Amino acid sequence: MTAPRVLIIDDDRMMRNSLVDLIEAAGWTAKPLARATEATRWITQFQPDVILSDVRMPDLSGIELLKSLEAAPPVVLISAHGDIPTAVEAMNNGAYSFVEKPFDPKRLLLIVTHAADQHRMRQSNDRLKGRLRQMSGLDSRVLGDTPDVHRLRDTIVLMADVDASVLITGETGAGKDLAARALHDLSPRGDMPFVAVNAAQISADQLPHIARSADGGTLFLDEICACPVDLQPMLLRLIDAGEVMTTGQGKPETVSLRILSATNEDTGAAVSDGRLRADLLYRLSGFTLHVPPLRARLDDVPILALRFLQDSAAGYDLAVPDLTEADLAVLMAHDWPGNVRELRNVADRRVLMARQGGGTMQDALTGDATEAPIRPGLREAVAAFERQMIARAIQAHAGRMDDAAEALGIGRRTLNEKIVKLGLDKDALL
C-alpha cells in the first residue's frame, strides 16, 4: 500500500514547513499550499487522503474551503484561535476534526492517521460497490445463487479483462452463449460488435466477411468441434496473425478481434477423431470456462423459473402465473436434460396455458418436446425443495428464527435441525 498523502494548507510558511516535516517524518507524502484557493486543483492532481488546513487564511478561510468542497477527503482544521463556536461550526460543516494550536504532534499524527484510514476504507467500499453494481448486471443474465453460479460469475469477471481466447464448455442449453455475451460486454471491447456464428455452418469464403463484421469486437464460434476441416487453417491464421484473405485476394486483410468458442463435445475425442486440429484447439483454449448443467444447481430452479415466467408473461402482456408449492416440487424433481433452455421453454408453455385459462407446471412439463424423465431420487428433490423454502422464510423474516419457524409451520428446534442437516448457511442468506 502506498504511503498516505496529506495536503497541507497554511499561509504561515514556518508552520507549513513544520507540518511538512512532521508528516514526512512519519513516512507519508505531503503537498504544501499557501492558499486555500489552490486546493480544488491539487485535490484532483495530488489525490490526498487527508487535508490539513489552517482556519484563518487570506482569500478563503478553512471553514469556507470546507463548505466549498464536494466528495473531498477528510478535512482536519487547525487554529491558534480555537473556541467552541468555531469548532462546532467546523464539525457541523463536515470537518473530520478540529485541533487547537499549539498541538501535540503525536495527537495530530494520530488524528491524521485515523482520517486517512477512514478515507481509504471509504474508497475501498466505493470500489466494492462499483464492482457489485457491475456484477448486478451480470447477475441478471447469469442468474442463480448456488456456489457453482457464483464461481461462474467470478470467473467471467476475471476473464473479461483478458484479451486471450476462451473455450466455453457445457451441455446443450446450459447457457454457453450467455457466458460468451457476458465476457464480451464486461471486456474493454464491450462497446464494439459481438458476432455469434455456428462454426458448423460457415464456409471459408464466409469467414473473411464475418471477421470484418466483428473487427474491434468479439467473434463467438459455437459448436467449434463441428467446424469444417478446410476452415480450420484460416481460423489458425486469424488467431495467430489477425489476418483473413478471400479467395483470389493477393494481400491479407488485418482485423483485431477476440475469439470465443463453445462446445458441448469432448474436445479430446474430436481431436482424436481428426475433426478438430490439435493446434487450433490449443489456440482456442487459452482459458477454459465451464458452464454447469442445471441438474447440478437445482436450488437455482425456483428463481430461474420465476424470472422466465416474468419474461414470458411480459412478452404476452399477461399476469405472471402463480408459482405454487406443487409447481416447485415438480420442477425440483425434474432432471432437466435440456438445462436452462428447457426450463425457459417450460415457463413459456405455462404462460400460454395461463393465457387459455389453466395449466400447471406439471402440465407444461408433460408437453415438453424432450419428454425428459422425472428424477428418480425423491429424497434429493425433497431436500432441495426444503432448502429453498427455509431459505426464503429466513430471508423474509430477516433472520428471526422463531418467526421463520412459525411461518413454515414447524418448531424452532426442528428448524435448527433442518438447517444443520441441509447444510444451510444462515449468515450467507441475510
Euclidean distance between CA atoms 262 and 182, whole angstroms: 14
All three cell numbers of 60, joined, read 478563503
Tens digit of pLDDT at every position of the chain (430 positions) = 467 889 999 888 899 899 999 999 988 999 999 888 888 888 888 889 999 988 888 888 888 888 888 777 888 988 876 667 777 787 888 888 888 888 888 888 888 888 888 888 777 656 544 554 454 567 777 888 889 998 999 999 989 988 899 999 999 999 999 999 999 999 999 889 999 999 998 988 889 989 999 999 999 999 999 999 999 999 999 998 998 877 666 688 899 999 999 999 999 999 999 999 999 999 999 899 999 999 999 988 988 888 888 888 888 888 888 888 888 888 998 999 999 999 999 999 999 888 887 788 998 988 643 333 334 455 566 677 777 778 877 877 777 888 788 777 787 877 887 887 777 777 666 6
Euclidean distance between CA atoms 244 and 254, whole angstroms: 7
Euclidean distance between CA atoms 194 and 197, whole angstroms: 10
What is the crossing angle of helices 325-333 and 378-396, to 10°?
130
The number of CA neighbours under 13 Å toward the Cβ of 386 is 20
